[in-house]
């Protein structure tokens, strides 16, 4: 009766870990400079942000939904923080808290509308993406904030562990551990997962599903803001175009990491460390291909292909989980 | 010509950690009704799934009309004229009843578009044949489990198969509906030479309609294609569970002291209930009986706040209250509801046994910062999983991999673990074998003796009469009468039927 969860060897995470190692070996043999101190440091900064973006999307995918406004939320939080620090001269820590608050609030709006209207979050966040981004552009007049406190931007360029690793990565990994703890070892985390897996059954089991869904969106906004904070310290400024038009540059990594990592698109199953490994894999791949000089277009092409494959994998995963029940 | 239209020889099938079939064999005589029996998890559904090409046997042979055949997918089986009603519902919930019924041969207009009028006409014919009063345009998700079950049987019949496999077709039906079904089955066997495999945990039904019996125990044959005339109930039970049947007779004394814990006064609901009065005392088991569609499940859903009560009073522990969600019902008033639809409302199929059984207790057992570990959960729920003898290789098995009856046990266990004051139990023993059913009945009685008040909804009349202290009969979303239950089956059941038919 008390046998433990299947061996680690058979899990999705193990497969991912192998893939990551294989790519590391390949890229460090075929490219120059993949293992250089400079490249590893640069990688660690990018990975840190991609992990955070992936986690932010993961917690909404958990509900069977999406958050297309993720990038827009991130940029709004960043610009809001830039304004706080540069114009209002609010100290760093309170500013950071305000940014996180802004992200959570925008996430809450997404969740609230989704739950109250019953419209799929795809549509809701498609709309709020434009609204948030539009508002932000209007209020900032598309001007960047470039005179941020030095202490703040120093964090993004600091180097640890013999100058190989950015502290940003530590923030992301720590976030992974916290989220893992929440989903695995707290009642609220378990309720979030249950609500995502079968809302009707969860509701009748005494879980307030609407509230759980709103929590997921708030958490998504919070993590989006956290990603934006990391990005702002990295580039040393808050720029309206930091995540591309409407913040859409974030969407590809946001989907890739969790879906590759084993989070079920229909909701109810997630893997925090899978998402982390997924982000690592994607960033490694992009970086390696850059070093191979294959050109921006091909890199996007490959990432697109990988997303498609990951989605196929998701379908088969779901098929195999449920095949025994849904026959014919 | 071969007398047997279907034969399985020494089939083996293993799943990770489970040997579902172990050298299982059986033969289906042409034009007979063949019972396939066994405890929960004995391998009945697995055998059916092999015959219909859903699963592939690891070894063993399959003969259809005397010829050895290999089935690679469900379509292959259809080609051989095999049609099936699986244990789990397989209708497309967002489609209408008519669309579902005609799915395999949708009528087309001359332009190649789907002919919806024709769908309605054709499906209506089959629904009427089943005595089913449903508009073919109704969306399936609005049907009760019993009606879905009847629709699925209608769908299988409409395919005009030569071999019909019915995996627990009567599990959610009331005796009247089952009786109609049997008349129909006997007719198609007699008139059209159809052969039927029939799985059920209700032995009366087996003796009523079956000619031959095959019993499985832990995947092995306890008897193979035996003529039913050579068996009686006792022998059959011994073959199934290896010992004699225990019959639970409620010897409860109805307490005279009135200690009303829940009362409904003149309640109206948004679903159409009117003038509902109900009184539940502490330690009492009241039964709600009625035909499919009487509004029993719906009333209970309004009570726990899933749907709205629009008028009248709900009184819990002497206080007038409003219950606006199942969460409030559970946490504030300690009222729990065990759903009849385990797949949709009871269980999370993609989660494991432990998570499913403990979903109702997370809030109770959490420590500081909401800490809940698997160990704490197992501590709390393991005893219930074991008491109900859930057959699973581990607590980490996915629910979707359990047999139907074992899934049902989990959906009951999670509410036993919750330790509520008032427990609403909707069709608790659907698909549960006779051994566990007796346990469960004992457990319900013990629960009531220890102070839990129970509202029992069941279409199983013997179950109702052996458990309930008094029985409320419902009809068309209204109460039509109360029967004090003295456990005298004939007298009580005829009183109940009177209320139903007036
Ligand atoms: N897809 C699966 N994966 C793993 N184990 C399975 C799977 N399907 C069935 N089993 C196991 O095989 C055994 C036989 O299951 P089966 O569904 O055939 O039982 P059954 O006789 O139909 O029981 P019930 O009366 O509860 O419906 C059970 O122990 C079940 O847990
Ligand atoms: Mg079965």
pLDDT tens for B168-207 read: 998 888 888 888 889 888 988 888 889 999 999 998 899 9
User: Residue B141's pLDDT band (boundaries 50, 70, 90)?
Assistant: confident
Query: Nearest Cα to B387, choosing from B428, B355, B353, B416?
Result: B416
Tell me the three state secondary structure of residue B8. Answer: strand
Q: Is A178 on the interface with B (CB under 8 A)?
A: no
Q: Nearest Cβ partner of B325 from A186, A190, A208? A: A208
Kindly identify the ligand whose nearest atom is closest to the C-alpha of B403. 1
Expressed in angstroms and rounded, the spacing between residue B413 Cα and the centre of ligand 1 is: 18
Parallel, antiparallel or unpaired: strands B212-217 and B33-38: parallel
Amino acid A323: pLDDT: 46
Q: Nearest Cβ partner of A206 from B331, B351, B378? A: B331
Cβ-contact B373, B381 below 8 angstroms: no
User: Residue A318's pLDDT band (boundaries 50, 70, 90)?
Assistant: low
Amino acid B253: pLDDT: 64
User: Residue A6's pLDDT band (boundaries 50, 70, 90)?
Assistant: very low
Amino acid A73: pLDDT: 96
Both tokens assigned to A84: 């706080």
Mean pLDDT of chain A: 87
B262/B246: higher pLDDT: B262
User: Residue A11's pLDDT band (boundaries 50, 70, 90)?
Assistant: low
pLDDT above 90 (res B159): no
User: Could you give the strand order of the β-sheet that contains B309-316, starting from the edge strand earlier in sequence?
Assistant: B276-281, B260-269, B309-316, B319-321
Distance from C-alpha of B282 to C-alpha of B151, rounded to nearest angstrom: 39
Which residues contact residue B183 at a Cβ distance below 8 angstroms, ignoring those fewer than 6 apart?
none
Taking only residues 137 to 176 of chain A, the set having a beta carbon closer than 8 angstroms to any beta carbon of chain B reads: none
Query: What is the DSSP annotation of B275-324?
Result: SEEEEEETT-EEEEE--TTSSHHHHHHHHTTSS-EEEEEEEETTEEE---
User: Residue A4's pLDDT band (boundaries 50, 70, 90)?
Assistant: very low
Q: What is the phi/psi pair of residue A40, to 5°?
A: -65, -40
pLDDT above 70 (res B262): yes
Both tokens assigned to A270: 């997630």
Amino acid A217: pLDDT: 97
CA nearest B417 in A: which residue?
A205
Q: What is the pLDDT of residues B110-131, one digit of tens each?
A: 877 888 888 888 888 888 887 7
Percentage of residues in chain B having pLDDT higher than 90: 40
> B337 and A268: CB-CB below 8 Å?
no
Query: Nearest Cα to A25, choosing from A210, A284, A256?
Result: A284
Q: Which helix (H) or strand (E) holds A185?
A: helix A167-185
Q: What is the pLDDT of residues A130-150, one digit of tens each?
A: 999 999 999 988 888 988 888
Q: What is the pLDDT of residues B382-440, one digit of tens each?
A: 999 998 888 898 899 999 889 888 999 999 999 999 989 999 999 988 888 888 888 88
**Neighbouring C-beta atoms of residue A162, cutoff 10 Å:** 7
Expressed in angstroms and rounded, the spacing between residue B46 Cα and the centre of ligand 1 is: 6
Distance from C-alpha of B489 to C-alpha of B493, rounded to nearest angstrom: 6
ipTM, 2 dp: 0.83
Parallel, antiparallel or unpaired: strands B453-457 and B59-64: unpaired
Q: What is the pLDDT of residues A51-98, one digit of tens each?
A: 999 999 999 999 999 999 999 999 999 999 999 998 898 999 999 999
Q: Tell me the average pLDDT across B155-170.
A: 88
Q: Is A293 on the interface with B (CB under 8 A)?
A: no
Amino acid A126: pLDDT: 95
Measured in angstroms, the CA of B355 and the nearest CA of chain A are apart by: 8
> A204 and B345: CB-CB below 8 Å?
yes
Distance from C-alpha of B475 to C-alpha of B139, rounded to nearest angstrom: 23
The dihedral through the CA atoms of A41, A45, A48, A50 has a sign that is negative
Amino acid B248: pLDDT: 66
> A185 and B373: CB-CB below 8 Å?
yes
| Class of A34-320 in CATH | mainly alpha
Atom of ligand 1 nearest to the CA of B87: 27
Kindly identify the ligand whose nearest atom is closest to the C-alpha of B431. 1
């Amino acid at each position: 009766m008390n046998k433990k969860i299947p061996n680690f060897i058979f899990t999705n995470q193990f497969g991912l870990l192998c893939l990551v190692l294989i790519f590391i070996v390949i890229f460090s043999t075929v490219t120059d400079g993949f293992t250089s101190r400079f490249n590893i440091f640069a990688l660690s900064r990018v990975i840190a942000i991609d992990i955070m973006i992936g986690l932010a999307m993961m917690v909404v995918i958990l509900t069977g939904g999406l958050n297309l406004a993720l990038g827009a939320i991130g940029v709004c939080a960043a610009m809001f923080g830039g304004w706080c620090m540069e114009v209002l001269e609010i100290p760093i820590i309170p500013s950071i808290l305000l940014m996180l608050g802004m992200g959570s609030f925008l996430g809450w709006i997404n969740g609230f509308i989704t739950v109250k209207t019953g419209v799929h979050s795809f549509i809701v966040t498609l709309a709020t993406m434009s609204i948030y981004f539009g508002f932000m552009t209007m209020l900032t007049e598309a001007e960047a904030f470039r005179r941020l406190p030095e202490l703040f931007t120093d964090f993004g360029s600091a180097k640890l562990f013999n100058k190989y690793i950015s502290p940003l990565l530590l923030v992301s990994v720590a976030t992974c551990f916290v989220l893992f703890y929440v989903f695995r070892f707290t009642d609220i985390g378990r309720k979030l997962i249950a609500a995502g897996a079968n809302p009707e059954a969860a509701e009748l089991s005494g879980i307030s599903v609407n509230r759980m869904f709103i929590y997921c969106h708030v958490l998504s906004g919070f993590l989006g803001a956290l990603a934006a904070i990391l990005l702002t310290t990295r580039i040393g400024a808050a720029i309206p175009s930091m995540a591309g038009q409407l913040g859409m540059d974030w969407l590809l990594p946001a989907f890739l990491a969790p879906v590759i990592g084993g989070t079920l698109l229909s909701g109810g199953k997630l893997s925090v460390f899978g998402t982390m490994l997924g982000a690592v894999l994607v960033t490694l791949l992009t970086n390696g291909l850059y070093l191979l000089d294959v050109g921006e277009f091909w890199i996007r092409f490959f990432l697109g292909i990988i997303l498609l494959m990951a989605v196929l994998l998701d379908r088969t995963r779901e098929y195999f989980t449920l095949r025994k029940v849904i026959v014919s | 010509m071969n007398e047997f239209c279907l034969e399985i020889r020494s089939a083996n099938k293993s799943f990770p950690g489970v040997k579902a079939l172990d050298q299982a064999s059986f033969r289906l005589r042409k034009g007979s009704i063949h019972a396939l029996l066994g405890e929960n998890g004995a391998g009945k559904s697995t055998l059916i799934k092999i015959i219909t090409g859903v699963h592939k046997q690891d070894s063993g042979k399959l003969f259809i009309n005397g010829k050895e055949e290999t089935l690679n997918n469900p379509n292959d089986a259809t080609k051989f004229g095999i049609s099936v009603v699986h244990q789990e519902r397989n209708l497309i919930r967002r489609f209408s009843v008519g669309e579902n019924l005609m799915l395999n041969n949708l009528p087309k207009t001359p332009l190649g578009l789907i002919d919806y009028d024709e769908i309605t006409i054709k499906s209506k014919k089959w629904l009427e044949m089943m005595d089913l009063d449903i508009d073919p345009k109704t969306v399936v998700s609005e049907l009760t489990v019993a009606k879905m079950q009847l629709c699925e049987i209608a769908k299988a019949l409409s395919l005009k198969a030569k071999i019909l496999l019915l995996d627990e077709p009567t599990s959610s039906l009331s005796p009247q509906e089952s009786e109609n079904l049997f008349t129909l089955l006997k007719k198609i066997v007699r008139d059209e030479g159809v052969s039927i495999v029939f799985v059920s945990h209700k032995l009366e039904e087996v003796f009523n309609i079956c000619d031959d019996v095959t019993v499985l125990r832990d995947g092995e044959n306890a008897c193979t294609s035996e003529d039913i005339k050579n068996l009686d109930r006792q022998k059959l039970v011994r073959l199934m569970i290896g010992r004699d049947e225990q019959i639970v007779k409620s010897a409860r004394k109805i307490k005279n002291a009135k200690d009303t814990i829940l009362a409904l006064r003149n309640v109206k609901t948004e679903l159409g209930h009117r003038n509902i009065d109900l009184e539940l005392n502490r330690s009492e088991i009241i039964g709600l009986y009625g035909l499919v569609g009487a509004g029993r499940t719906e009333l209970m859903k309004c009570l726990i706040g899933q749907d709205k009560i629009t008028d009248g009073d709900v009184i819990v522990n002497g206080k007038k209250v409003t219950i606006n969600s199942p969460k409030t019902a559970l946490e504030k008033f300690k009222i729990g509801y065990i759903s009849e639809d385990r797949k949709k409302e009871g269980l999370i199929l993609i989660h494991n046994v432990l998570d499913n059984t403990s979903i109702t207790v997370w809030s109770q057992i959490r420590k500081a910062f909401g800490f809940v570990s698997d160990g704490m959960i197992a501590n709390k729920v393991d005893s219930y999983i074991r008491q109900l003898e859930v057959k699973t290789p581990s607590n980490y098995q996915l629910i979707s991999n359990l047999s139907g009856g074992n899934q049902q046990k989990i959906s009951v266990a999670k509410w036993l673990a919750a330790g509520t004051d008032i427990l609403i139990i909707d069709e608790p023993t659907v698909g549960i074998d006779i051994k566990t059913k007796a346990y469960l009945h004992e457990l319900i009685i013990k629960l009531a003796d220890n102070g839990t008040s129970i509202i029992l909804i069941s279409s199983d009349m013997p179950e109702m009469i052996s458990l309930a202290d008094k029985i409320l009969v419902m009809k068309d979303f209204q109460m039509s009468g109360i029967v004090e239950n003295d456990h005298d089956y004939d007298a009580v059941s005829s009183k109940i039927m009177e209320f139903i038919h007036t």
